[in-house]
Amino acid sequence: RSKRRGRGQITVYSREIAQEMKQATQLEQALRTAVIADAVDVHFQPIVRLGDGAVLGFEALARWIDPDLGFVSPSVFVPLAEERGFIDALSETLLRKAAEAALSWPSDLFLSFNLSSAQLMDPGTADAILSTLARVDLDPRRLELEITETAVMTSADTAHRIITDLRAKGVKIALDDFGTGQSSLGRLRDFTFDKVKIDRAFVSRITTDRASEHIVKAIIAMCEGLDLQVVAEGIEEYADAEKLKALGCPMGQGYYYGKPMTGAATHRYLQEHRPALMVEGA
Ligand code: C2E
Ligand code: MG
Ligand code: MG
Ligand code: MG
């Protein structure tokens, strides 16, 4: 009897898997169409100086609303494009749009852009990024690329070369989601980064969990010692911001300071958060 039930379960599971595969293929088709139609968008989330809330730059975040499927999260469609081998086309479109938006900001503001792990395994990535910047005419020194520890460690030699080539042109490299990936602190020493972004998982608990507070404190101290810039991600509350300031964290990002917004909305945001600069530019 149990054997039968076992077999039945296998049938149920394989149907579910088949269903999931069908959905993934539908999603893939819709995403490919959207990339070709230039229908995948970018939004921008401010990164601020915690001391006075001044905007220092924006992180580009991919946004896609399919006419049939509705809103699809980038944490679903970016991995899908990686698996199905068209992350290059998707990323190129996103970087072009993001760089075009960055051109309309004051020139001391940076653009932060997420690189996927598959791109760090592809030796053509540095050239592809630099040629997109050249086409849009955005100074590479205004670009920061966010990469994760795990991505760097997966294909260390290729990743190292890409990072070195890009840094030679003035592009900065930020370690995203720091503290959650698979890396040892020792291996981090082998790479040259400019910035560390402390993962939201620690930041969101900073006022309620002593361990998270100590971890954040230690990361800030380590970054100071290594001459790395440091940003706290996922600041949602006034109390989080105050705590981070007290710990000496120089920069932050999160819903408390601003949610991801359209390119047009960045101009309104800049008017409100950089009044001195807007007067200067007028
Ligand atoms: P990420 O790079 O770590 O981006 C931060 C995520 O946290 C974003 O989610 C952002 O909207 C969200 N976030 C920001 N502040 C807060 C906050 O205060 N509270 C909470 N709860 N969330 C906050 P999003 O936009 O859904 O993106 C998810 C992930 O998808 C990103 O994580 C990144 O890994 C990936 N992604 C997004 N856009 C791109 C892209 O253009 N290229 C690549 N390769 N990956 C992207
Ligand atoms: Mg990021
Ligand atoms: Mg992050
Ligand atoms: Mg993340």
What is the mean predicted confidence (pLDDT) over 11-39?
Answer: 87
Tell me the C-alpha distance between 69 and 5, whole Å.
35
Count the alpha carbons within 13 Å of 121 in the hemisphere toward its beta carbon: 12
Q: Which residues surround ligand 4, an ion (CB under 5 A)?
A: 177
- Whole-model pTM? 0.92
Note the pLDDT tens digit of each residue in 239-260.
999 999 999 999 999 999 999 9
Question: Is 76's C-beta closer than 6 angstroms to any atom of ligand 1?
Answer: no
Specify the pLDDT at position 222: 93
Percent of the residues in the chain that have a pLDDT greater than 70, as a whole number: 91
Structure tokens at 167: 């840094």
Specify the pLDDT at position 278: 45
8 Å CB contact between 123 and 157: no
- When the pLDDT of each residue in the chain is averaged and rounded to a whole number, the result is 91
Q: How far from 223 is each of 166, 194, 216, 232, 233, CA to CA, in Å? A: 21, 10, 11, 12, 15
Tell me the C-alpha distance between 37 and 53, whole Å.
37
8 Å CB contact between 234 and 204: yes
Specify the pLDDT at position 281: 41
Question: Is 100's C-beta closer than 6 angstroms to any atom of ligand 1?
Answer: no
Residue 2's pLDDT band (boundaries 50, 70, 90)? Answer: very low
Q: Whose CA is nearest to atom 45 of ligand 1?
A: 114
Note the pLDDT tens digit of each residue in 34-83.
999 999 999 999 999 999 999 999 999 999 999 999 999 999 999 999 99
Angle at alpha carbon of residue 72, lines to 36 and 83, rounded to 5°: 65
Note the pLDDT tens digit of each residue in 73-88.
999 999 999 999 999 9
Question: Is 41's C-beta closer than 6 angstroms to any atom of ligand 1?
Answer: no
Q: Lowest mean pLDDT: which of 87-101, 185-199, 207-221?
A: 185-199
Q: How far from 258 is each of 26, 54, 98, 272, CA to CA, in Å? A: 33, 12, 17, 12
Specify the pLDDT at position 11: 66
Tell me the C-alpha distance between 270 and 281, whole Å.
12
The amino acid present at 145, given as its one-letter code, is: L
Q: Is the pLDDT of residue 131 over 80?
A: yes
Tell me the C-alpha distance between 274 and 164, whole Å.
33
What is the mean predicted confidence (pLDDT) over 157-174?
Answer: 96
Residue 182's pLDDT band (boundaries 50, 70, 90)? Answer: confident
Residue 54: CB atoms within 10 A of its CB come to 13
Q: Is the pLDDT of residue 186 over 60?
A: yes
Q: Which residue has the tokens 């998707």?
A: 90
Structure tokens at 149: 């520890």
Q: Is the pLDDT of residue 238 over 90?
A: yes
Structure tokens at 264: 């047009």
8 Å CB contact between 229 and 223: yes
ipTM of the complex: 0.98
Q: Whose CA is nearest to atom 32 of ligand 1?
A: 75
Specify the pLDDT at position 8: 59
CA of 167 to the centre of ligand 1 (A): 23
Highest-confidence range of 1-15, 93-107, 149-163, 181-195, by mean pLDDT?
A: 93-107
Q: Lowest mean pLDDT: which of 88-97, 105-114, 156-165, 273-282?
A: 273-282
8 Å CB contact between 48 and 251: yes
